[in-house]
Structure 1
Amino acid sequence: MDIKTAFQASAEGRGKHRRSPILERADMPKARRIVVKVGSSSLTSIENSLDELAIATISDVLAKKKREHPSIELVFVSSGAIAAGLAPLGLSRRPKDLATQQAAASVGQSLLMSRYTDIFSRYGVTVSQVLLTAEDLMARDRYQNAHRQLERLLDLGVMPIINENDAVATREIRFGDNDRIAALVAHTVKADALVLLSDVDALYTRHPNDGGERVNSVRGEEDLAGMAIGSVGSAGVGSGGMVTKVKAAQVAASSGIPALVTSAPNARAAFAGEDVGTWFYSTGDRSTVQSLWLQHLADIEGTIAVDAGAAAALRRRRSLLAAGVTGVEGNFEGGGAIAITDEQGTIIAHALSSYSAGETAQMIGRHTTQIQLAMGETYDGTVAHADNIVVLP
């Protein structure tokens, strides 16, 4: 399926699960469906091998939560496959090249799942392995398949354990970290809450060693203004940091799902609704995966500048026509993710471009008839269709 037709109607209305009312932090015990993500830095030792105690500890928390509340549905997004494969391959650190990362993930994924299967079985919890790539949550047919699979597993009382499919993902399409996959999975299964666990207990105004204070909650972008959000506490085996956790929490919150960012040792307190971590309040209603991806996750490949008339039309949810284009930057192909800027240079929208940068440049300021005379009848001058445009707040 080509990217121009990706992300269309999804299976979001299906499934038996009904979401709880929008939760506050203290309401976490009432959540019926929770997506929990644990990062590599919380599951590996200083030597970059699997930390058996850390795995057993987080598994114990999740298993007891299910045993104490049989009706609760947990989806566990676990990093650590690449880290788990390092020692068996004789590697001392996470490899930088994609092929070796894939090899490590291929070896490590089975080791990681073996640990989880063994531990959870002791509590009578059945788990399953679900490997996803970016395309699985971006293309319509694959998204529907992922949705159906996860819903059926949850209906059967199984706890899905999800990881990015590093063994086959390519550099061009992979998310690069499981934080953002967790946010999109939370959207896919209509979760009541997303919990992002790492080795950092909360978001801070600046590094705690420099006197930074814990950010108790985030209600919008204004609460993050002026903060230097970095990868505090990273153990060097993951591909994300605090910045990716904040972005993932914002993605979830923007689709109506509150999120909590805290440390793995705080997991039990988080489920109990205690005052730990940083709580991201829901900031929007449910939206399509395409909208979430374009707004928060897409790798922007170029920029198209537009005049005031085109900018006003975009804000009215109209398509972008070549007549309103004033400039093109970047080297994108048709279907590539682009930013659209107004006359002041402010980014007002993200979109999937209908044409390549070169083709779009030939259309600047032209109307349909002029374009078709110069380039052929297949070119109608719609630089980005309204269905493939997300106007930014």
Structure 2
Amino acid sequence: MCSPCASPTTPGDARPEAVSRSDPTIAPVSDRSPSAIPTRRVTVKIGSAVIAPKGRLDLAAIDRLTAEIAAARDGGASIVVVSSGAVACGLGPMGLSEMPRRLDERQAAAAVGQPLLVSAWASSFQRFGVVAAQVLLTADDIEDRARFVNARRTIDTLLGAGVVPIVNENDSVAYEELRLGDNDRLSALTAGLAGADLLVILSTARGVCRDGPSGDVVLELDDIEEARSWVTRDRSDTGIGGMGTKLDAAAIARSLGVETVIAAGADPGMIARAIAGEAVGTRSRAAASAAAARKRWIGHKKRPRGAVDIDRGAADAIATRGASLLPKGILGATPADERGFAAGDLIDVRCEGVTLARGLTNYALDDVRRIAGRRSEEIAAILGYSVCDEVIHRDNLTVLNNPGMNA
């Protein structure tokens, strides 16, 4: 499988068959009002039927959505976009009039449509001076720990640079993703990967309805399992998922500490209203904060691949100040077995023989041993590269015991 692919994008000459960009609902930059939008990290998933109905890219819809995303960014929100539509964008150029049933044809359409899709996003974001980056993921990139850490670091770096990541599954090679077939699950996993506290799923549906699509929208969804009996697995002509997969995404997001809003993508202002907490669409509250859920997952994960021993100063900083583990405080590193540990693996953090914390290491065993006791600014000179200053970042570190017990 391919590792996460991220590349800044600029508008190209190739354009898919598309409708006009003329759209009076797009607010000029000067008319946007960011004051009502709180600072949050948000993942916005946009369905094929919203931006590429019947396989024809709707540039006006993309322009409207980029305007809303730009407004949210003006208000301090960090936005990750999960965009469906690659397969749909490739239908016309491939001479197909409907979603193909054969896997190889869907993959070929995705290969043709993906550059057209990301070019449209990049061109639209450029109106606001915003750079977009393509990030292609598969399930393996999220389920494999080393690749997960790499993908998370890539997205964090892009967001830190003010870039909007445009995430899509790597449809041209991801057999399992296409067979299960939706970006809803990917959006929930991406929200967890990005450390988002809100996932907004925009589709043709107004939300979850108890009595069918024409019924009243359920504003607050408490029991996701019960809601499964209210919906069908129907999907749009160009989409691969349906309301059932959106409930799957909400369940995954809830377990990761991410709140979810399922709303109508055709209604202007939905992104800002969802971020502001207004009663739009269907909202599924998170079981815990994203940080708490992540740290709980780390604390209860399977057997660590090794351990590092640290000095008392580093232990106190981790336990009392929530600090990251820097190489300066490391005394040594020990593998759990002859395989050692790799970047992204779970390891224990020990002080004076007591396991006080557990976290995901940014460096492999041999590299940790080489930089132990050294300053962070020396890492590149010692290893020939530097991933980051921390051996374990505080966001990936869970304290299990207080080292102050023997003080």
TM-score tier (shorter): 0.5 to 0.7
Aligned partners of 1:33, 1:226: CA distance in 2, in Å?
A: 28
TM (norm. structure 2) is 0.59
Q: 2:285 aligns with which of 281, 294, 306?
A: 281
1:273 Cα shift?
Answer: 2.7
AA paired with 1:142? R
TM-superposed deviation, 1:225: 5.3
Q: Tell me the residue number matched to 1:183.
A: 188
SS in 2 for 1:205: coil
**Equivalent residue runs for 1:336-347 within 5 Å:** none
- Please give the alpha-carbon distance, in whole angstroms, between the structure 2 residues aligned to 1:186 and 1:288: 15
Q: Which amino acid aligns with 1:195?
A: V
Tell me how far apart the structure 1 counterparts of residues 177 and 79 of structure 2 sit (CA, whole Å): 30
Aligned to 1:118: 123
CA contact (8 A) 1:135 1:173 kept: no
Distance in 1, matches of 2:112 and 2:228, equals 42
Runs of 4+ in 1 over 6 A off after TM superposition: 288-291
Verify the 8 A CA contact 1:134 1:173 in the aligned structure 2.
no
Q: State the Cα deviation string for residues 43-85 of structure 1 (Å, max 9, x = none).
A: 123x42112222222122112222x32x321000000000000
Q: Indicate yes or no: 2:92 matched with 1:87.
A: yes
The yes-or-no answer on 1:217 pairing with 2:220 is yes
Q: How far apart are the structure 2 equivalents of 1:174 and 1:235?
A: 16
Distance (Å, rounded) in 2 between the aligned partners of 1:81 and 1:217: 32
Counterpart of 1:262? 263
For residues 149 and 78 of structure 2, what CA distance do their matches in structure 1 show?
A: 20
Q: CA RMSD in A?
A: 2.6
Asked if 1 retains the 8 angstrom alpha-carbon contact of 2:171 and 2:177, the reply is no
* CA-CA distance at 1:174 after TM superposition: 6.4
Name the SS of the counterpart of 1:161 in structure 2: strand
What's 1:204 paired with?
209
Rate the CA distance shift 1:177–1:288 in 2: closer, same or farther, 3 A: farther
Residue in 2 that maps onto 1:194: 199
One-letter amino acid of the structure 2 residue matched with residue 43 of structure 1: I
What 5-or-longer segments of structure 1 have no aligned partner?
2-27, 292-393
Q: 1:97 aligns with which of 99, 102, 112?
A: 102
CA distances 1:302-326 after superposition (whole Å, capped 9, x unpaired): xxxxxxxxxxxxxxxxxxxxxxxxx
Alpha carbons 1:98, 1:171 under 8 Å: kept = no
Match of 2:72 among 43, 65, 69: 65
CA pair 208-173 structure 1, distance change in 2 beyond 3 A: closer
Identity %: 40
**Structure 2 counterpart of 1:228:** 230
1:262-298 CA distance string (max 9 Å, x none): 111233432333211111011245158999xxxxxxx
* Superimposed CA distance per residue, residues 196-239 of structure 1 (whole angstroms, 9 cap, x where no aligned partner): 11011110002143xx22111122347x357321246x431111
Do 1:192 and 1:258's aligned partners in 2 also have CA atoms closer than 8 Å?
A: yes
Mapped pair 1:35 → 2:43: yes
When residues 207 and 165 of structure 1 are mapped into structure 2, their CA distance, relative to the original with a 3 A threshold, is: same
CA contact (8 A) 2:122 2:131 kept: yes
Task: Check whether the contact 2:198–2:275 (CA below 8 A) recurs between aligned residues.
Answer: no
Structure 1 residues 253 and 41, CA gap change in structure 2 (3 angstroms): same
Is the CA contact 2:228–2:244 (under 8 Å) kept in the aligned structure 1? no
Q: Distance in 1 between matches of 2:89 and 2:62?
A: 11
Normalised by the length of structure 1, the TM-score is 0.61
* Secondary structure of 2:107 counterpart: helix
Shift in Å, 1:89: 0.8
Residues 1:221 and 1:80: Cα distance change in structure 2 (over 3 Å): closer
CA distance in 1, matches of 2:127, 2:177: 40
Separation in structure 2 between the aligned mates of residue 145 and residue 174 of structure 1, nearest angstrom:
25
Within 5 Å, which residues of 2 pair with 1:1-393? Answer: 29-45=37-53, 47-66=54-73, 68-69=74-75, 71-171=76-176, 176-209=181-214, 212-221=215-224, 224=226, 227-231=229-233, 234-264=235-265, 265=267, 266-284=270-288, 285-287=292-294
Contact persistence 2:224–2:247 (CA under 8 A): no
Q: What's the offset of the Cα at 1:100? A: 0.9
2:264 partner letter: S
Q: Residues 113 and 150 of structure 1: is their aligned pair in 2 closer, same or farther, counting only changes over 3 Å?
A: same
CA distance 1:125–1:174, change in 2 (3 Å): farther
Q: Distance in 1 between matches of 2:152 and 2:46?
A: 21
